[in-house]
Amino acid sequence: MTAVTVPVRPAEGASPRPLPWRRMAWVSWRHHRIALGGVVAFLGALAVWLWIAGLQLRHAYAAAAACHPASSGACQNLIAAFQGTSVVLKGGFVLQPVPALIGAFVGAPMLAREIETGTFRYAWTQGFGQRRWALAKLVLVGVAVAAVAGAFSVLVSWYYQPYFASGNGTVFSSPSPLSPGLFDLRGVAFAAWTLAAFAIGALAGMLIRRVVPAIVATLAACAGLAVLAGNVLRQHYLTPLVAKGSNLPGSAWITSEWWTKGGKFAFGGRPRVDLLQQLCPSSFVSGPGGGIAVKGNFSPTTCLVQHGYTQWSDYQPASNFWPFQWIEGGWLLALSVLLIAVTVWLVRRLVA
Amino acid sequence: MTALGIPARLEEDTNPRPLPWRRMAWVTWRHHRIALGGVAVFLGALAVWLWRVGLQLHHAYAAAINCHPAASAACSELVLNFDTIGGILKGGFVLQPVPALIGAFVGPQVLARELETGTFRYAWTQAFGRWRWTLAKLVMLGVAVTAIAGAFGVLVSWYYHPYLAPGRLYSATSPLHHWLFDLRGVAFAAWTLTAFAMGALAGMLIRQVVPAIAATLAGYTGLAVVVGVVLRANYQPASHFWRVQWIEGSGLLALSALLIAVTVWLVHRRAA
């Protein structure tokens, strides 16, 4: 017993109330500063790249959009130069894994590391309480990660803007802002996917209790969820519009195509060659080497229309971009909250 | 002391020579079977996907290439049909991170995990000797990972063949194109081995698994960009495919051997 320690102990004993939440921010920062610093460095490096490439892209776009007449050889060269700028970033595929990587490398170690190394025995028996400890860390780090990702996605939206601008008409056959690859990099979706990946990582770490397998599981789960959302869920967010014939706006996201005959469904997707052969046999002859040969300028669409078929398309107009963003952001936020709640509930069960 | 224990101990004591290398194969397998199993499952799932889509792709290619005259609308429909198959697999973009992921998740485990958890104190004081222990593990795992990746690379080469076959269907793609070149031939296995060796060295230097994984992914991306954009000369004729493959493959093999040698030397030097 020294003179220094004696007065301190009674003071602590007289205050058995849990530590304030504000202190947890400091603890979260101390525990996860390397991970958060890594995220900032990673996104910062990507941001520099996007900024440099984006300036070039805008420059090339401005040159191509200002050129008249658009059909001249000089203008075609400028359009080709615009389309050849930063091919790697085009379509957005190279940025698709970013939310999953952040979620896996920040979210999965959140609890798995404490469990794997055994430090949870110390951390979870502090005055703050195991459940609030886990909740505070997950919420604070989750909000920080989502905020950094949100700031980054503003830059991403800026980068891809020229592809969606309608200047000069022929500069770029603009992709639909809803099409997979770009939709979830822009608006609020990017931050929401990052938060969801973080929550998936935290739960995976809690369930698997080992960091590296939890990272792998998170990457796999995020890839699966992204494929499910892009190919199955997203097209059903709002009732699609139906178009008759093939006159659709270029920015429409076509989700399905089918043909009818006499008011009844005939077939979906593209017409089969054997059907065309059956309908318009005079246009087909047997070609060299056993192949199928076609006479002159035969058009499958014309052939089908002549025989009473009608083409239909389900599509989502480009004006649905922001409603879709809020729907996707909303369900991902709800999913993240649910996953974090399950994780915190499991923490309580682990020690209890 | 039991009757069973005594003869066993005497036998061991009279054989103080190091364990044979063959036994290390068993130890390596026991230590890394989950990682190796994970690699096999991951590539197996990708292989099933490639096989199923690849059959459709080859079928559509055969239909389109046999269609005459090529300029007719019906043939254009078949070419369009061929073009729509594959979706995300087209261009090879989605398979680019595969070698990096394998290397990053297997490589750093070899040393960083032992260093992080402290089990190196036990492992490195075995009769086998610490640098031979490291060398045996790295060589065996490296060969195993390379062999699996090589087998997968054969399937990938088969899948992308229609895009590169001579014909009018996909004229834009050269076999030396960035995104396809390093998925085919010997390059895929060589890149996987390089990622593994980078992971092993990163694990030895950083001594923590997760930061070593992140560093491996970053280092690999940097190397792939440098080789793809700067070193590998584009606009080569397609007939140079195999020559460039062997140049890149042997360059990466040499780099991997160097990285593994440096890793083993660092283990040998550490607290010698």
Q: Select the residue of B38, B69, B218 nearest A293 (Cβ to Cβ).
A: B69
Measured on CA atoms in the order A117, A122, A125, A130, is the torsion positive or negative?
negative
The Cα B269–Cα B57 span in angstroms is 53
A313-327: average pLDDT:
90
Cβ(B264)–Cβ(B256) under 8 Å? no
How far lies A189's CA from each of A156, A182, B192, in Å? Answer: 12, 10, 33
The Cα A96–Cα A313 span in angstroms is 28
Cβ(B116)–Cβ(B207) under 8 Å? yes
Largest Cα separation within chain B, whole Å, is: 90
Our CA-based measurement puts residue B164 at a distance from the nearest CA of chain A, in whole angstroms, of: 20
Query: Cis ω on the peptide bond leading into residue A69 (within 30° of 0)?
Result: yes
Distance of CA B262 to the CA centre of its chain: 20
- Give pLDDT, residue A2: 46
- Give pLDDT, residue B112: 84
**Structure-block tokens of residue B108:** 């750093």
Our CA-based measurement puts residue B204 at a distance from the nearest CA of chain A, in whole angstroms, of: 17
Residue of B34, B43, B68 best to disrupt the A interface, most CBs of A under 10 A: B68
How far lies A253's CA from each of A176, B68, B250, in Å? Answer: 6, 32, 46
Contact A276 B213 (CB under 8 A): no
Strands A309-316 and A253-261: antiparallel
With an 8 Å Cβ cutoff, is A293 touching chain B? yes
Q: Select the residue of B74, B75, B209 nearest A211 (Cβ to Cβ).
A: B209
Cβ(A208)–Cβ(A112) under 8 Å? yes
Cβ(B181)–Cβ(B172) under 8 Å? no
- Give pLDDT, residue B82: 81
- Flag the least confident range among A71-85, A219-233, B98-112, B211-225: A71-85
Distance of CA B25 to the CA centre of its chain: 19
With an 8 Å Cβ cutoff, is B173 touching chain A? no
More confidently predicted of A166 and A195: A195
Residue of B95, B98, B106, B210 best to disrupt the A interface, most CBs of A under 10 A: B210
pLDDT, tens digit (0-9, with 9 covering 90-100), for A8-45: 444 444 444 556 777 778 888 888 888 889 999 999 99
Looking at chain B, which residue has its C-alpha nearest residue A215? Answer: B210
- Give pLDDT, residue B12: 46
Looking at chain B, which residue has its C-alpha nearest residue A216? Answer: B105
Contacts of A211 in chain B (CB under 8 A): 209-210
Per-residue DSSP letters for A90-145?
Answer: GGGGGGTTHHHHHIIIIITHHHHHHHHHSTHHHHTTSTT-HHHHHHHHHHHHHHHH
The DSSP symbol for A18 reads P
- Give pLDDT, residue B94: 82
Our CA-based measurement puts residue B9 at a distance from the nearest CA of chain A, in whole angstroms, of: 34
Residues 30-49 of A with CB under 8 A from B: 34, 38, 42
- Flag the least confident range among A5-9, A201-205, B244-248: A5-9
Cβ(B162)–Cβ(B57) under 8 Å? yes
- Flag the least confident range among A86-100, A211-225, B16-30, B207-221: B16-30
Residues 34-73 of B with CB under 8 A from A: 34, 38, 63, 66-69, 72-73
Share of chain A above pLDDT 70, in %: 85
The Cα A211–Cα A196 span in angstroms is 18
pLDDT in tens, chain B (272 residues): 444 444 444 444 444 555 667 778 888 888 888 889 989 999 999 999 999 999 998 888 888 877 776 666 667 777 777 877 877 787 777 888 899 999 999 999 888 888 888 877 777 777 667 888 888 889 999 999 999 999 999 999 899 888 776 655 554 456 666 667 788 888 899 999 999 999 999 999 998 889 999 999 999 999 988 887 777 766 767 777 788 888 889 999 999 999 999 999 998 887 54
Distance of CA A264 to the CA centre of its chain: 37
Contacts of A212 in chain B (CB under 8 A): 105, 109, 209-210, 213
pLDDT, tens digit (0-9, with 9 covering 90-100), for A124-165: 666 667 778 888 889 999 999 999 999 999 999 999 888 887
- Give pLDDT, residue A127: 63
Looking at chain B, which residue has its C-alpha nearest residue A277? Answer: B74
Instruction: For residue A313, give the H/E element and its range.
Output: strand A309-316
Q: Rounded to 5 degrees, what are φ and ψ at A172?
A: -150, 125
Residue A170, pLDDT > 60, answer no
Contacts of B97 in chain A (CB under 8 A): 97
User: What is the pLDDT confidence band of residue A7, given thresholds at 50, 70 and 90?
Assistant: very low
Structural Rg of chain B based on CA atoms: 23
Contact A287 B66 (CB under 8 A): yes
More confidently predicted of A294 and A119: A119
- Flag the least confident range among A117-121, A278-282, B137-141, B241-245: A117-121
Helix (H, G, I), strand (E, B) or coil at A258: strand
- Give pLDDT, residue A6: 43
Cβ(B202)–Cβ(B216) under 8 Å? yes
Our CA-based measurement puts residue B73 at a distance from the nearest CA of chain A, in whole angstroms, of: 5
The Cα A328–Cα A333 span in angstroms is 8
Instruction: For residue A309, give the H/E element and its range.
Output: strand A309-316
pLDDT, tens digit (0-9, with 9 covering 90-100), for A329-351: 999 999 999 999 999 999 877 65
User: What is the pLDDT confidence band of residue A1, given thresholds at 50, 70 and 90?
Assistant: very low
